[in-house]
Chain A
Amino acid sequence: MAYVATRGGERAIEQAERLFRAEMGEITEARVAEIKAAMPYLIDRVMGEASLYDEDLAALALAQTGGELFEAVLVLRAWRTTQPRLQVADPITQDALFTHRRISAAFKDIPGGQVLGPTLDYSHRILATDVLNGFPFKPAEVEPAAQPAPAYQPSVAAWQADNDLVDLPPIDDTAPEDIPDVTREPLLFPAKRAHTLQSLARAETGGALALGYAAMRGYGQAHPTVNELRLAEADIMVRHPNGTAFSAGRVKVSQAEVVSKKGEKLELGFAATLGWNEVKCISAATLDLNSAGAEKGSATEEEFFIYHTEGVESSGFCIHFKLPHYVTFQSSLDAMRDAKAKAASRKEPAE
């Protein structure tokens, strides 16, 4: 009898993949378009975690993976790897963002006003079961305000800085193409500021929430107040080789500033990501707020939260435990049995 399994492995993995894909059936352009139209917030979440802004590709990734989010993000990141870097866009300041929603919990009102924008915050979370009985849910029409809020809003932290309540970080005038990029160079600690912010922007939402929540509950030194939460669109300004600056389009971004009292000043935590994802930004900003001086190995320490909120790495490692480990297991068994035999032989002479 010979080993016949050599090709068996290949057949097995092929058929297993077919089983998975059979459930989703044919993937058409229409399906991708429907996912994109129906689930903008899911698309945003996936684009943020993949650090790749393309709604069509994100919708395709969701279609292709049946909504297995970790797989969707992985397939997008792997695609991202293959793309050349053509341009680095100009940096953009908060007051240059086309703002849809901007709220502050720190003040009743803020310069520029509280702009609620689109949110489910004050909705009653009632499942629209009628839809399943043949009565479509038609959202009520939005009534435009008599005076629309200005699209461009200053940052709340800027006002606080003017009033000597907070020290803003010094302006970083690193040339755009010199900004460190964690996908092109190793992440080392203490992390470069750009690496920290980029890692938080790419963080897995649930992971950022879990650790951010731990900090909010008291496993951090600082209690966050949401200074500003903003959902906006950012202009992507790039340069033609002849020097002309032009907009390559707008991308949805979200950002959170959280503050905490430290002595006579406020301390600032910040996070931003591609797409609209409020939970992630507030959680990530809370981690950022708590990271200075955090104890090594605590949930709010930079190395701890950056590594453990990296969704592609953590999910990959988690599922890798499904792979056979019988060689390592055999090696451990051998050591255990030998130790046991040694223990038994030590006991014998005493009897």
Chain B
Amino acid sequence: MSLATLTKNWEPMSYGFLDASAKREIRRKMLKAVAVPGCQMPYASREVPMARGWGTGGLQVSLTLMNPSKRVKVIDQGADDSVNAASIRRFLARVSGAPTTLDTLEADLIQSRHRIPEEKLREDQVLVLQVPNPEPLRPVQPNMSIARQMHADADYGRMWLQLYEQIVRSGRVMQGASYPSLVNGRHVMTPSPIPRWDVPKLHMAKHLTILSAGREKRIHAVPPFTRVEPLVFDDVPYKVEDHGGLTCNRSGAKGFFMNEIPQDDGSSTYEISDSEFGVKTIKQAEGERVEFGETWYTDGEMPS
């Protein structure tokens, strides 16, 4: 053994910011997360040059996966131009030299907060979702140690009870985003705060989804072709947001998840949440040649 085998050349910063040991830990945990879909795997979660709660979990996964030929897309609330998405995209590109894109079809890696793009993801694409709170049981059990035991026992009774009480009180499940879902018939997970509109996109999808919570230090995953079933009662079916009939005021796109824009006269208009899909729709209307991917929803409906 020589000194050279024990040392390496000085670098001002590791490639992709994270040092090799941080990456290895995340790799090991990602593999376990894939092996047990929907089960939260604890990891050390290094501090990165971004505040906790701002996508540091997703960022660590992306930094581990990045290489100079992976094209990355970053969205926040569906938009590429959202300030935090811009900040994360700039950071990823700066530390990895990877090319960026706004187009879902061109991306190899998509890091997202609160949305899944409207165009279907392919087998060769990886979706990284930022997760503020990885524990679906938190509303019924804030203590993480007890909640972990409940997952171990597949004890989801209180979760069901909570949903039942909502139906009794309000006639429906009142959960907005982050709809708790059963993965591979065993673990209840949060799909992260994506709208209910997006949860069915995870069910038997072609792509791999990795969900990472940096502040709470947990990774979970939904491998391709894995069952993701929102918790529902047989007689009260799962209901996505009633956006199927809405039209985007700016692009004319219809039948996708929308942002509601309040107007001075008390009414509302709507804009498509997947901003780049909106841009492509506008470009097409203006006569540009644009390539669209297949969408999960057709005419505002998700084919079953």
Contacts and interface: CB of A to CB of B under 8 A. Distances in A.
A339 B215 contact: no
Interface string A71-101: 0001101101111100000000000000000
B294 interface: no
Nearest to B41: A186
Interface string B153-179: 000000000000000001111111110
Nearest to B85: A9
A77 B279 CA distance: 39
A303 B143 CA distance: 8
A339 B173 CA distance: 9
B44 A6 contact: no
A339 B170 contact: yes
Contacts of B287: none
Contacts of A188: 42
Interface stretch (B50-58, B181-189, B203-211, B220-228): B50-58
A316 B80 CA distance: 22
A186 B86 contact: no
B46 A324 contact: no
Nearest to A75: B49
A137 interface: no
A331 B82 contact: no
Interface SS, B side: loop
A189 B52 contact: no
B171 A327 contact: no
B276 to A, nearest CB: 8
Contacts of A333: 176, 260
B114 A2 contact: no
Among A9, A342, A346, chain B packs the most CB atoms within 10 A around the CB of A9
A319 B51 contact: yes
Contact of B81 (A9, A329, A335): A9
B295 interface: no
Contacts of B115: 327
A175 interface: no
Interface in A11-52: 12-13
Among A74, A331, A336, chain B packs the most CB atoms within 10 A around the CB of A331
Nearest to B218: A186
Given A3-B275, A10-B86, A315-B51, A296 B282 contact: no
A135 interface: no
Contacts of A319: 51, 53-54
A297 B143 CA distance: 6
Contact of A3 (B143, B175, B278): B278
A184 B44 contact: yes
Contact of A327 (B19, B78, B144, B175): B78
Contacts of B170: 339, 342-343
A80 to B, nearest CB: 7
B215 A2 contact: no
Nearest to A3: B279
Interface string A180-191: 001111111110
A323 interface: yes
Interface in B110-135: 113-115, 132
A334 B132 contact: no
A312 interface: yes
Contact of B172 (A185, A317, A318, A335): A335
Nearest to A184: B44
Which 6 interchain pairs have the tightest Cβ spacing? Answer: A316-B52, A320-B53, A332-B176, A186-B42, A331-B176, A316-B51
14 contacts: A6-B102, A9-B81, A74-B47, A185-B25, A186-B42, A296-B143, A297-B143, A315-B52, A325-B114, A326-B77, A327-B194, A329-B176, A330-B257, A330-B258
Given A327-B195, A327-B259, 13 more contacts: A2-B279, A9-B86, A81-B18, A186-B42, A296-B143, A303-B143, A313-B52, A316-B53, A316-B215, A323-B54, A323-B84, A327-B77, A328-B178
